[in-house]
Structure 1
Amino acid sequence: MDVFACHGVGGIMGMILTAIFAHGENASLLHGGWSVFGHHMLVLVLVSVFTFFGAILLYKITDFIIPLRVSEESEHLGLDLSQHDESIGF
């Protein structure tokens, strides 16, 4: 499931294209207005920054509660064996 490709890119393109093609006096770039386009671009930047730092915060909180990196010993042993207790049955 690629959520960003579907909702993220779709939402970004929708905001940009709405600001370009909206109907009404001074409502879009095609009708001589920069106001709506400027507001949409500002919101896109603000939402992107909020989402980036929110994701980092959630990552740090999760890593504090449940460490997301395995130990070096587990890496040397092999993650199949150390994490899943699986071995190759040859």
Structure 2
Amino acid sequence: MRYRETVDERLKKMAMREIGLAIKKYEFLFPINYTKSARSGGISLVFLCKSDRTTTGTFFKKMPKDIIPEHRILWRNVQKVIKKNRICTFPNIDKSM
């Protein structure tokens, strides 16, 4: 977040800059506090974001074995939310890597 910036502004700017996606709707899922990270401490606020554009990327069916520890935590927590809410955020997952 930047000084005097809203969560809405930051999410939309970050999604556009990093993946070229305009967010239409989002929902806060959970925070992650990386207290023991080798990459320094930090907090991630994880959101489920939706767009009216179809996905063109590919996704992993299973967590990669060489994933960094911070992303391992993120992966597991997102999977729990998806299973609990029975949502599918990746419509082309069967065509994934």
TM-score higher than 0.5: no
Please tell me whether Structure 1 or Structure 2 has the larger radius of gyration of its CA atoms: 1
The structure that is strand-richer by fraction is 2
TM-score, normalised by the number of residues in structure 2: 0.28
TM-score, normalised by the number of residues in structure 1: 0.29
Larger RCO (CA under 8 A, 6+ residues apart): 2
